[in-house]
Amino acid sequence: MKIQVIFYGGLKQDVGTKQQTFEFPGDGLTVGGLVEALKAQYPALAVRLDTIAYAVNDEIVELNTVLRDGDQAGLLPPVSGG
């Protein structure tokens, strides 16, 4: 299945890309599983994970949320609006 991953805020500088589509074999991938795969590809991500929140499509989700083909996953670092 295909998952589009979007890196928000300073994360896109850390990983060097704003968004990227990943292809995963089979079903049942969770957000936590996605994060593990991203960590492997982007070591810079690892040190920031404890302050990152995750959105799937337009909802903030937990790590055990199961992804579906075509989902858009957002990685949200600490916010600084205003």
Partner 1 sequence: MGRWIVDSPLELEPLLRETEDPGSGALVIFYGTVRNENEGRPVQAMTYEAHVALAEKTLNEIEAETLEKFGVRRCRIQHRIGTLQLGEPSVLIVVRGGHRTEAYAASRYAIDEVKQRAAIWKEEHYADGDSRYLDGVPLTRKDETPA
List residues near partner 1 by CB under 8 A.
6, 8-10, 13, 32, 35-36, 49-55, 57-60, 62-63, 74, 76-82
Q: How far is the CB of 54 from partner 1 (least distance, A)?
A: 8
Task: Tell me how far apart the alpha carbons of residues 52 and 68 are, in angstroms, rounded to a whole number.
Answer: 21
Task: Tell me how far apart the alpha carbons of residues 29 and 46 are, in angstroms, rounded to a whole number.
Answer: 19
CB of 45 closer than 8 Å to CB of 11: yes
Q: How far is the CB of 77 from partner 1 (least distance, A)?
A: 7
Which two tokens mark 78?
């600490």
Nearer to partner 1, 23 or 59 (CB): 59
Q: How far is the CB of 11 from partner 1 (least distance, A)?
A: 9
